[in-house]
């Protein structure tokens, strides 16, 4: 009788979650310009094999891709960012200059109506090689040139 071959262990899909934000739902005022304007906690799993670095871009596609947060050179072994990691004083990852003209996180702050906010996490074969404080165009250009092993997006809304 042949020995049964064990079933392969399923690899979890690359996923981005948050205890503070629910996909497709409204973002709590705390994480916006109308509240404390702190970055929400984010967590991920299923990072593709070979990931050396992670990059995070939060933008508003309803405002032509307005960049709210750019964080990069996050070690591939990291699996979460705590609430407030988008502070300009965060030391473990470089952050870019958002479209508010500030380094770090700038929460949702639409002029009116409901806007969508995308948190996109990129799994990269190598760090982007972008210095801290880089503008969104520089980070996005580096992402266009990078070997992206996986990408996952969490989208939520905010209305004023």
Query: In this structure, is residue 133 part of a structural domain?
Result: yes
CATH number of 90's domain: 3.90.280.10
Q: How many domains does the chain have?
A: 1
pLDDT for the residue 92: 85
Q: What is the pLDDT of residue 90?
A: 86
User: Is residue 134 in a domain?
Assistant: yes
Q: What is the per-residue DSSP string for 46-62? A: -PPTT--EEEEEEEEGG
- 67 occurs within a structural domain: yes
- The rounded distance, in Å, linking the Cα atoms of 105 and 154 is 16
Residue 28 domain flag: no
Query: For 34-74, how does the pLDDT look when each residue is reduced to its tens digit (9 = 90+)?
Result: 999 999 999 999 999 999 999 999 999 999 999 999 999 99
Domain that holds residue 46: 37-159
Average pLDDT over residues 91-99: 94
Q: Does residue 1 surpass a pLDDT of 80?
A: no
Report the C-alpha gap between 157 and 116 in whole angstroms.
Answer: 4
Q: Within a domain: residue 70?
A: yes
The pTM for the full model equals: 0.91
Q: What is the rounded distance in angstroms from the CA atom of residue 21 to the CA atom of residue 23?
A: 7
> For residue 57, is it within any domain?
yes
């Amino acid at each position: 009788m042949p020995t049964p071959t064990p079933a392969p262990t399923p690899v979890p899909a690359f996923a981005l979650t948050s205890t503070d934000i629910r996909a497709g739902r409204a973002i709590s005022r705390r994480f916006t310009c109308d509240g404390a304007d702190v970055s929400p906690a984010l967590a991920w799993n299923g990072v593709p094999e070979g990931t050396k670095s992670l990059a995070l871009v939060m933008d508003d596609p309803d405002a032509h891709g307005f960049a709210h947060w750019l964080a990069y050179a996050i070690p591939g072994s990291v699996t979460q960012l705590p609430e407030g990691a988008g502070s300009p004083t965060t030391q473990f990852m470089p952050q870019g200059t958002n479209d508010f003209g500030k380094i770090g996180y700038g929460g949702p702050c639409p002029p009116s109506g409901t806007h969508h906010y995308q948190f996109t996490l990129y799994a990269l074969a190598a760090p982007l090689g972008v210095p801290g404080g880089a503008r969104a165009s520089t980070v996005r250009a580096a992402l266009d040139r990078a070997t992206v092993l996986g990408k996952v997006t969490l989208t939520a809304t905010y209305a004023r």
